[in-house]
Structure 1
C-alpha cells in the first residue's frame, strides 16, 4: 500500500458515497487508474465494505455503555465459548480483547437503563465463565472519527 492508496482510503472514509470521478479528482488520478486501485484495495480486503454512519439517538438507541468483562479462567474452551456467544448478541457493537484488569471491553447501545438491565440479566449473566462485569455509561462524546490518522 502506498501514499496514493492511503489518499483513496482517507477520501472514502470522509465520504463513502463519492463517485469514481469525484474520488479520482480528490486524489489526483485519472478515473481508470483510480478505479483499478480501488478494486485492488477491495479485493485485498483492505476496504472491507461501505456503510452509513447513523446517529444513535435519532435511531432510538441513546445510551452508550462500555462494559468491561473479566473471565474466571483463561482456558481455550472458556475463551472460545465466551467469544462465540458475544458475536451472537446484536446489542454489542464492538468487543475488544484487552490488557490490564479487564479481559474484554464491549460497546453496547440500548434504549434505556431498563433495557441495559435486561441485557445484563438475560444475556451476559447467562454466559458461563464471567467472573466480573464492570459498567460505565457514556454521557457525552468529545471526539469520534472514522478517518484513520496519517501513516508515515
Structure 2
C-alpha cells in the first residue's frame, strides 16, 4: 500500500515524530500539501499508529536494564493469561515478547539497582505459580 515516498516519510517520522510538515516535506522531496495528505492517509490506514515520547529512564531513576527470559511451568491458557495479566500491571516491565525457542517470554525490565531488581523478581515474578524458570541478562550498554 505504501509507495517509495510513503516509506521516506515513515523513515523520517520514525526518527523525529515532532518534525514540522514543512521540514518533513523538504526532507522527503515533496511539497507541504501532498506530504500532509500522505501523512494523514498513513494515519487513517493505521500504518502510523501514533506518536510517542521517549524518556530517558535514568531521569525516572531506572538506571539498570535487564533482559529476562521466562519459561512457564505449563503452556495452559489459564497460566498464559495469568502471566500476561501480571506483566501488564508491572511498571518495571517495559517490553514483553512471546517468543519461539527455549524461553516462552523475553522481558525488558528496568530497575533502580540490583537490589531493586532482586526484590522485583522475588516479590512479583517468582510468586507467580505459572513461572517455571527465570534467567536474567543485565544490559551493560545499548549499541543501537
1:70, 1:103 within 8 Å by CA — same for their partners in 2?
Answer: yes
Correspondence for 1:147: none
Root-mean-square deviation over aligned CA pairs: 1.3
Report Cα offsets for 1:56-95 as digits up to 9, x if no partner: 3344211011100000111111112211211111110001
Q: Which runs of 5 or more structure 1 residues have no equivalent in the other structure? A: 145-152
Correspondence for 1:83: 84
For 1:32-71, list aligned pairs within 5 A: 32-71=33-72
- Structure 1 position 4, deviation (Å): 1.1
Correspondence for 1:118: 119
Aligned to 1:96, the other structure's residue is in SS state strand
Correspondence for 1:98: 99
1:70, 1:132 within 8 Å by CA — same for their partners in 2?
Answer: yes
Give yes or no for the alignment of 1:129 onto 2:137.
Answer: no
25-34 vs 42-51, greater mean Cα deviation: 42-51
132-141 vs 52-61, greater mean Cα deviation: 52-61
Correspondence for 1:149: none
User: Between Structure 1 and Structure 2, how many residues are aligned?
Assistant: 143
Q: Which runs of 5 or more structure 2 residues have no equivalent in the other structure? A: none
For residues 70 and 26 of structure 2, the distance between their equivalents in structure 1, rounded to whole angstroms, comes to: 46
1:63, 1:110 within 8 Å by CA — same for their partners in 2?
Answer: yes
TM-score of the two chains, using structure 2 as the length reference: 0.92
For residues 90 and 44 of structure 1, the distance between their equivalents in structure 2, rounded to whole angstroms, comes to: 31
- Structure 1 position 52, deviation (Å): 2.2
46-55 vs 5-14, greater mean Cα deviation: 46-55
